[in-house]
Each structure stands twice: as structure tokens, then as C-alpha cells.
Homo-oligomer: A and B are copies of this chain.
Amino acid sequence: MKSSPLSQLGRRITEPPIAWLMKRSLDHPQLISLAAGFTDNPSLPVEEARASLDEVLSSPQTGQPALQYGPSAGDGRLRRLTAERAQRQDQADGPQYATDRVLITHGSQQLLYLLCEALCDAGDIVLLEDPTYFVFLGIAQSRAIQCRGVRLAEDGIDLAQLEATLETLKRSGELPRVKMLYLVTYYQNPTGITTALEKKAGALALLKHYERAAGHPIYLLEDAAYRELRFAGADVHSALAVKGGKDRVIYTGTYSKPFATGVRVGYGLLPEPLYTVVLRIRGNHDFGTSNLLQQILAQAIDTGRYEKHLGVLQKRYAQKAAVMADAIGKNFPAGVEWRPPQGGLYVWARAPQSVRTGIKSRFFQKAMRQDVLYVPGELCYADDPRRAKPNHEMRLSFGGAKEADIQEGIARLGRVLREMRVK
């Protein structure tokens, strides 16, 4: 055979670096993994899921329908509850919170993929945070979408750099290729940073300004996956609540992380005409999210079980975050920068620039020999021709590991840092 039968996408796709980490961790059960973005096992809501399922399946009105196909956009009750929750969290009103803007998906990851399909051809450009969620980078790479990273400050992206990036793209004539700005706005994966409302408003205003030169709308895709995993500080309104946001903001969230990752249900609120386009593409992917899973969630939300479980979960993650913060405080040299998290699953630790943390680095190899795994920071940076990827950071997850393992894992990393003479 002379050539490959694969499509361009099929030829472009590579093994995600994280898959290697995952596999490593499965093959070496003695490894302490601070790498996986898994959620806490002991707090999984087995009883809540059982009770909700039992109610759904024992009623003749809901038992059979839960096992049948449902509407492609999602179950009516769950869509309404989702719209109501978003509106309540934002303490705002408007058409952007209408039930008919809600699309239920097979995890919010599916929606990120669908949006890339609906908006981006190969060569199109997505603006995103530097660093950002590495799975999104995998989607972009596989679809030959170009990325431009925008620096992150403590309260979200650097608006001046966003503006400079847009201006450069305007001058080079590439602005028509810019389709969206992707932001993970709550307890960001990987940095834990939460974006201030003014930053969302500022970003939206900039996108609007450059739309004229782009010739088409540029969307703000707000990924709020970790919003409900807040255990300190106040909630921040979403970009949906910002003036000018109602036709430009795509808001995505998930019920999987706050409830159970084995119950794969995500959602989005999308403006028209994008909503209809995404729904149609989705109709080719599958026939909608499992009705049974949607019924479990709708029932858990309606009965208050979801909210109650969320309270338990927030306390649990607060505790695990405190254990990690305490261990870092005791074990990491002062030259490593980090902040105690206020939500989410991650601590982002920045070693001095001279200490490389990448998979091939001495540091990573030494950590592996100590049986401890983290996500090297460089994996969270997009390919961006304008800069080299920073290579001296780590994402440390307190989500899945046991408290004793968090303590031990951090202590081992501390030893490696001292061996590397970090002060």
C-alpha cells in the first residue's frame, strides 16, 4: 500500500500526553498521582443516585420514558432546571437564560468539540488563556485550529495583551479567522484562577470592537466547569450577565464533576443561530444524552439532593485543598510560587525558571523515581508561534488522591525540589 486511508484529521491526531500519564499511573498502582483530574471517590453520591433512580424507575409515568429516546436537545425538565440555576447564580434576567437556549450534552467536553466543529475550519484561530485546559488544546491540534495564548493575571486574562493580540491579527489580515475566545473562568484548570467580572466585560467589549474588522461575530466561550466546586470566596457572575453578552456568550457547564463523573451530563447556553447549528451537528454525533442519566440528575436537582450533595462535596474539597496547601507550605522551598485554591481541583506551582518540569526533565524523572506524578505545566500551553512554552510549572490535583497520599506526594516533590537546589 502506498498511502494511508486516513483523513487529514486521522493523520493529525496524536496520543494526548496526558494519556501517557494516566497509563503510567494505572500500570504502577503504587504511584501517587497528583496528575489525574479525577474527583474524590469516597464522596461519590451512591445513595443519592440510588434514591433518584429508584424514584424515576418505580413510577409508571417516568420509568419507561427514562429508558426510551428523548429529545435531541435534552430532557425538558433538566433544560428548565439548568436555565433556572444559571439565572439564579447570576442573579440576572434576559433571553440568554431561556430554557430553549439550553443544550444538554454527553459531558461538557462534547460541547467544546461541537463548538470547534461548528465555528472553526483548519487554520482558523482561537484565542485562549496561557496556560489553559489541555484537552481543549488536543481538540485544536487535531483540527488544525491555530491558538493564540493570552497571559493570565491573578484575576483573569490580561486585557492589554488581548487587545494587542487582536490588533496584530487585524494588521496581518488574520482577524476574519478569529472565531472565539475560550476562557475557563472559575478555578481554572490548570491555574485555579477565577476571572473577575470586569475582565469578562472587558474581553467582551474588545471582541465586539474587533468584530467590525473580522466581518463576523467573535464569540466568548465561557467554560464554567468548576464553578460549583467553590469552597471559599464569593461566586462571580458569568459573562451571560454582562451587557452585550446575550448574543455573544456561549456558556458551558457540567453536572458530572459536581455530582458524579460516571454520570456524564454537561450543558450549554448558546445564542441563536449557533444553537441550531450545534444541535444539528450533534444530531449526527448521537441521538442525545442518555435519557436515564438526565432523569437521575433532574430528579436529584428537583428533590434538593443535588444541592445537598454539593455542600458535602465543597466541604470535602476544602479539606483536601487545605491538606495540600498545608503540605506545600511545609515542604516546598520559598522559591516555588503558588496560591491556596478557593475552588476546583488544582494547585498551580511555579518553580524558578531554571527548573524544568517537563516530561523529559530531570525533575520529572526524579519525581517518577519517587513514585509521584504531576501534570507538567508545558502541557497546558498552546502551540503559539509568538513564544516558547514555559516549562517550569506543575499542576497538582487534590481531587482524586487520598489525604495521606496528598501529604506524602507533596513531601516527595519537596524533597526533589531540594535535591534540585531550589531555595
Binding site for B on A (CB under 8 A): 1-10, 13-16, 19, 38-39, 41-42, 44-46, 49-50, 53-54, 57-58, 63-70, 72, 106-107, 109-110, 113, 117-121, 124, 135, 138-139, 142, 176, 179, 211, 214-219, 260-264, 277, 280-281, 283-293
Contacts and interface: CB of A to CB of B under 8 A. Distances in A.
B287 A179 contact: no
**Which 8 pairs of residues, A with B, have the shortest CB-CB distance?**
A262-B291, A67-B260, A67-B262, A5-B216, A10-B118, A2-B215, A44-B67, A46-B63
Given A1-B215, A4-B216, A216-B5, A284 B138 contact: yes
Contact of A290 (B211, B219, B280, B290): B290
Contact of A10 (B45, B110, B117, B219): B117
Contacts of A218: 5
Contacts of A67: 44-46, 49, 260-263
Contacts of A288: 264
Given A1-B216, A216-B2, A284-B138, A68 B46 contact: no
Contacts of A264: 286-290
A362 to B, nearest CB: 29
Contacts of A69: 38-39, 261-262
A1 B211 contact: yes
Given A38-B69, A45-B67, 7 more contacts: A5-B219, A42-B64, A46-B63, A113-B286, A138-B284, A139-B284, A292-B293
Nearest to A265: B290
Nearest to A113: B285
A140 B14 CA distance: 24
Contacts of A8: 121
Nearest to A112: B284
B281 A262 contact: no
Contact of A277 (B6, B219, B263): B6
A290 B287 contact: no
A383 B67 CA distance: 34
Contacts of A120: 7
Residue of A46, A66, A216 contacting most chain B CB atoms (<10 Å): A46
Contacts of A6: 118-119, 277
* Number of copies of this chain that the complex holds: 2
A106 to B, nearest CB: 5
Contacts of A113: 284-286
A160 B287 CA distance: 35
Contact of A13 (B124, B216, B280): B280
Given A7-B121, A42-B64, A263 B290 contact: yes
Contacts of A117: 7, 9-10
8 contacts: A1-B217, A2-B216, A5-B119, A9-B281, A10-B119, A50-B58, A106-B106, A263-B290
Nearest to A59: B46
A246 to B, nearest CB: 16
Contact of A124 (B7, B65, B219, B283): B7
A291 B39 CA distance: 14
A375 B263 CA distance: 34
Contacts of A38: 68-69
Given A215-B1, A261-B67, A284 B7 contact: no
Residue of A42, A211, A218, A263 contacting most chain B CB atoms (<10 Å): A263
Contacts of A176: 3
Contacts of A45: 67
Contacts of A10: 117-119, 277, 281
A64 B44 contact: yes
A1 B65 CA distance: 44
